[in-house]
C-alpha cells in the first residue's frame, strides 16, 4: 500500500476490501508457487538423470566424470577410453601368473643377457632398458630373469628353510607366509614367464636409492613396476622396487598413467 504520510492518499476514503482483487492475488500466488515447484522438479530430474539415458555427454560432463576417483568409476571410465590400447588379455606379453593364476612350466624360448635369461622376444627391450637405467645409476644391474618352475621350487624351499632356521618358532606354514612376502611359490611366480626381471643398483629388495627414477623410464621400454606401493590388494604381493614386467610399450604407458596393476588391466581388457 502507498505511504500513508502522503497527503493525497491520506485524504482518500478507506476502501472496503475488494474480494475479486483478493482472488486475483491468490491465483497469481498459486501460479507462482506452481512455477517454482515445476522448475525445481525439472532441475532435480536433470541432476539425477543417468548418463546412459541422456544424449551425448557434454565436454564438461565428461571431465567431471573423469574427476571421480573411486576405483569402480575409474575402471568403467577407463573402459570407455578411446586411448585404451587394442590389446587382449590373451596376448603373449600380458600373460598373468600369480597365486590365483598358477601355470605349469611355460618353456619360453630364452636368451642370455648378462647373467640372467629372458624371453627372446624381450631381449632387445631388456638391453635398452638396462642401458637407460645405467645412465641414471651405473650400478644398475640385472639380478634375476627367467626362472623355471623347477628352479623356483628349489629356491622357494631354500627360502622357507632359511626362515625356519632364523626363527625356530615358525612352523612350515608360517615360514611360507614370510617367504611369500618376497618370493612366490613354484608355478605362481612371474619369473617363469621369462617376461619379468629384477633390476636394481643393490642386491637387496627395496633399498635402491634410484628405484623411482628407473621405474619412471620403464614404460618407454615396455616394462612396468609390477608390484608398486599400495598395489598388494590386487597383486597379492607387497611393494618390490626391483621387479619389472614386460607388457609392451603401449600397455605399459597406459597402465602406468592410469595406476593399473597387471591384474587390474587384464580385468579391464576382459570387459571390453
Q: Which of the ranges 4-12, 66-74, 202-210, 236-244 carries the binding residues for Zn ion, by CB under 5 A? A: 236-244
CB of 203 to Zn ion, least distance (A): 12
Examine residue 198 and tell whether it contacts Zn ion (CB under 5 A): yes
DSSP structural state of residue 99: T
User: Residue 163 in contact with residue 179, Cβ under 8 Å?
Assistant: yes
To the nearest whole angstrom, how small is the minimum distance from the Cβ of residue 152 to Zn ion? 11
Distance CA 65, CA 44 (A): 18
Q: Is 245 in the site for Zn ion (CB under 5 A)?
A: no
Candidates 3-11, 176-184, 191-199, 256-264; binding stretch for Zn ion (CB under 5 A): 191-199
In whole angstroms, give the CA distance from residue 66 to residue 47.
Answer: 17
Rg from Cα positions in the chain: 33
Q: How many residues does the chain have?
A: 272
Q: Which stretch binds Zn ion (CB under 5 A): 38-46, 100-108, 164-172, 192-200?
A: 192-200
Interface with Zn ion (CB under 5 A), residue from 147, 188, 243, 253: 243
Distance CA 148, CA 154 (A): 10
Contacts of residue 128, Cβ cutoff 8 Å, sequence gap at least 6: 221
Looking at 42-50, 95-103, 116-124, 198-206, which segment touches Zn ion (CB under 5 A)?
A: 198-206
240, 196 in Cβ contact below 8 A?
no
Minimum CB distance to Zn ion, residue 42 (Å): 58
x-or-dash string of contact with Zn ion, 134-173, rule CB under 5 A: ----------------------------------------
| In the complex, least distance from residue 198 CB atom to Zn ion, rounded to whole angstroms | 4
Q: Which three cell numbers stand for residue 25?
A: 492475488
Q: Is 241 in the site for Zn ion (CB under 5 A)?
A: no
CA distances from 124 to 121, 198, 206 (A): 8, 16, 26
Binding site for Zn ion (CB under 5 A): 198, 243
Amino acid at each position: 500500500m502507498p505511504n500513508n504520510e502522503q497527503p493525497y492518499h491520506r485524504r482518500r476514503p478507506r476502501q472496503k476490501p475488494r474480494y475479486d482483487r483478493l482472488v486475483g492475488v491468490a491465483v497469481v500466488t498459486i501460479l507462482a508457487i506452481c512455477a517454482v515447484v515445476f522448475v525445481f522438479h525439472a532441475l532435480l530430474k536433470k541432476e539425477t538423470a543417468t548418463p546412459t539415458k541422456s544424449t551425448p555427454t557434454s565436454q564438461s560432463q565428461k571431465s567431471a566424470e573423469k574427476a571421480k576417483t573411486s576405483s569402480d568409476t575409474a575402471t568403467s571410465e577407463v573402459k570407455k577410453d578411446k586411448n585404451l590400447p587394442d590389446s587382449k588379455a590373451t596376448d603373449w606379453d600380458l600373460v598373468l601368473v600369480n597365486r590365483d593364476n598358477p601355470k605349469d612350466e611355460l618353456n619360453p624360448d630364452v636368451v642370455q643377457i648378462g647373467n640372467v635369461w629372458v624371453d627372446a622376444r624381450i631381449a632387445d627391450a631388456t638391453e635398452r632398458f638396462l642401458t637407460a637405467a645405467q645412465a641414471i645409476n651405473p650400478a644398475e644391474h640385472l639380478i634375476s630373469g627367467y626362472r623355471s618352475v623347477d628352479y623356483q621350487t628349489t629356491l622357494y624351499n631354500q627360502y622357507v628353510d632359511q626362515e625356519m632356521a632364523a626363527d625356530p618358532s615358525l612352523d612350515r606354514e608360517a615360514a611360507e607366509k614370510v617367504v611369500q612376502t618376497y618370493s612366490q611359490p613354484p608355478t605362481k611366480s612371474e619369473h617363469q614367464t621369462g617376461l619379468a626381471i629384477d633390476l636394481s643398483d643393490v642386491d637387496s629388495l627395496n633399498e635402491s636409492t634410484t628405484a623411482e627414477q628407473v621405474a619412471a623410464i620403464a614404460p618407454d621400454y615396455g616394462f612396468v613396476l609390477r608390484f608398486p606401493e599400495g598395489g598388494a590388494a590386487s597383486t597379492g604381493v607387497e611393494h618390490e622396487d626391483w621387479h619389472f614386467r614386460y607388457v609392451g610399450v603401449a600397455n605399459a604407458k597406459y597402465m602406468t598413467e592410469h595406476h593399473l596393476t597387471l591384474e587390474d588391466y587384464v580385468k579391464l581388457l576382459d570387459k571390453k
